[in-house]
Amino acid sequence: MNIMIIKHLLCVIFLGVVCAVSTSCTAQEEKLTIEIIAAGTVSDFWTTAFAGAETAAAQYGADIKLFGPELEKDDLLQEHILLQSIARKPDAIIFSAADKILTTEVFDAANSEITIIELNSGLDDSRLASYVGSNNRALGHTLAQEIASRFSGGTIAMINNAATVAAAKERETGFLESLSGNPEFSILASVYCDADIDKAEKLAETLMEDHPNLTAIVCLNASATIGAGRAIEKAEKNDIFLAGVDCAAEEAWFMECGVLDVTICQNPYAMGYFGVEAAIRHIRGESAEEVIYTDFSVVTKETMFLKRNQQLIFPIS
């Protein structure tokens, strides 16, 4: 009888070993899929953000895919890309709205199955898991302070991205909050370039023609800054103070030439990195902050080649 029992038990033990070994071999975690839908893909800003995102994805073992229109002005294309991405049902979408995107429809389509992280565009929607990017209002404040510290008064023109982009609106509000209290400054109504460099250039030309005694042009995003820089360089009006945002290669050159006088450099690498990190934390159910602000810093011609700024302005390719 005992021998029979032992035989039975040996069979059971053998099966147990087989099961244990096979489960431990097949128990490989499936990789998280994260898609980044950027506003643009070719600018220095976005390549750097992608580099940060890829670093985080590699570190956390997630699969990451990058989508977006080449240029930020292609907002219709971005919407199309976004809808396609939602249809693929990735674990998370990191999204930076280019322009008049119909965000409500998009979020409805995602229907809470997909974690949505917003990157630097400042949408206001409760279905967003986290916002990662600059504090755009503070960025506007800082720009205003740069103007106020250099001029006691004058006419200020403002070229913004688009009236419908929340981030652009925030920067504008921040700037106006700081400066409109000062009666010495007359601030012209904002004009919008819709992330189009050529349009920004034309807008700047028009502004300079219409207001020959213009003190400063404040540009609230990179394409506006580049466009205005081109216009000022062409018109050889270096005496107009140009304040901008970001420091793409062309902007850096304008700065060296004295066209661009001050710029606020954001930290796109950190945005990409923390965006992916926040997405992964949300998917895993760990705690993640709702708002993650990345740093920005003021760069002028004198400080642009300081070590710290070099590291921030120029991405390592």
Partner 1 sequence: MVNKLLTLLKQHFHLNSLWFIISAITVFMALMATLTIALIMNIRFSAAIDNAAFVNNARIVSAAADNIDGYIMEVFRTSRVVAEMTETYPAQKDIFDNVRFLLPEDIDTIAVFTENGDLELKTDDRPLLPKQALTSQQWFRAVAPGSSMFVLSNPHIQHLFPGEYRWVISMSAGLSWSSGEQNRRGMMLIDLNLSAIDELFADMMDENSYLYVMDEDGEIIFHPRQQMIYAGIWQDETISSADIGEGSLIVENNSERLLVSVGPLSYASWRVVGVSSLKGALSYDADMPVFVIIIISLILLIVVILTILISFAVTRPMRRLMTLMKSVESGKWAVSSEGNGIYEVAALSESFNKMVNKIKLLMEQVLTEQRALRESEVRMLHEQINPHFLYNTLDSMVWLAERGDRENVVIMIEALAKFFRLTLSGGKDIIPVRDELKHVESYLTIQKMRFGNRFDFKINMDQSVADRFSMKMLLQPLAENAVIHGIGNTYEDGMIIISAYLDADDLIYVIQDNGIGMAPEKLKMIAQNGTQNDVLLDQGVGIRNIRQRIQLLYGGNYGLFFDSEPESGTTVTIRIPAINDKVARKS
Among 43, 45, 47, 52, binds partner 1 (CB under 8 A): 52
Cα 237 to Cα 104, 141, 220, 245, distances in angstroms: 44, 26, 20, 20
Query: Using CB under 8 A, which of the segments 75-83, 120-128, 198-206, 262-270 binds partner 1?
Result: 262-270
* Number of DSSP helices (H) and strands (E) in the chain, helices first: 11, 13
Name the DSSP class of 220: S
Query: Using CB under 8 A, which of the segments 47-55, 70-78, 86-94, 197-205 binds partner 1?
Result: 47-55
What does the block give as tokens for 58? Answer: 């590699």
Among 11, 20, 42, 291, binds partner 1 (CB under 8 A): 20
Q: Smallest gap, in angstroms, from Cβ of residue 274 to partner 1?
A: 8
Q: Which residues within the stretch 122-151 sit at the binding site for partner 1 (CB under 8 A)?
A: none
119 in Cβ contact with 279 (< 8 Å): no
Pick the closer one to partner 1 by CB: 177 or 256.
256
Among 113, 253, 258, 289, binds partner 1 (CB under 8 A): 253
Pick the closer one to partner 1 by CB: 126 or 317.
317
Counting contacts by CB under 8 A, is residue 312 touching partner 1?
yes
Q: φ, ψ for residue 184 (rounded to 5)?
A: -70, -25
Counting contacts by CB under 8 A, is residue 8 touching partner 1?
yes
Q: What angle do CA 180, 185, 189 make, to 5 degrees?
A: 65
161 in Cβ contact with 195 (< 8 Å): yes
Among 4, 212, 236, 286, binds partner 1 (CB under 8 A): 4
Q: Smallest gap, in angstroms, from Cβ of residue 289 to partner 1?
A: 15
Neighbouring residues of 62: CB distance < 8 A, sequence distance ≥ 6: 31, 32, 33, 34, 56, 276, 279, 280
Counting contacts by CB under 8 A, is residue 18 touching partner 1?
no
CA distance linking residue 163 with residue 75, whole number of Å: 14
By CB under 8 A, the count of residues binding partner 1 is 36
What does the block give as tokens for 164? Answer: 């419908």
Q: Smallest gap, in angstroms, from Cβ of residue 102 to partner 1?
A: 33
263 in Cβ contact with 310 (< 8 Å): no
Neighbouring residues of 78: CB distance < 8 A, sequence distance ≥ 6: 37, 39, 68, 69, 97, 98, 99, 101
Query: Using CB under 8 A, which of the segments 34-42, 126-134, 220-228, 306-314 binds partner 1?
Result: 306-314
Pick the closer one to partner 1 by CB: 19 or 102.
19
Q: Smallest gap, in angstroms, from Cβ of residue 19 to partner 1?
A: 10
Identify the helix (H) or strand (E) that includes residue 33.
strand 33-37
Counting contacts by CB under 8 A, is residue 315 touching partner 1?
yes
Among 46, 50, 192, 269, binds partner 1 (CB under 8 A): 269
What is the binding site for partner 1 (CB under 8 A)? Answer: 2, 4-6, 8-9, 13, 16-17, 20-21, 24, 51-52, 55, 249-250, 252-253, 256, 267, 269-270, 273-274, 295, 305, 307, 310-317
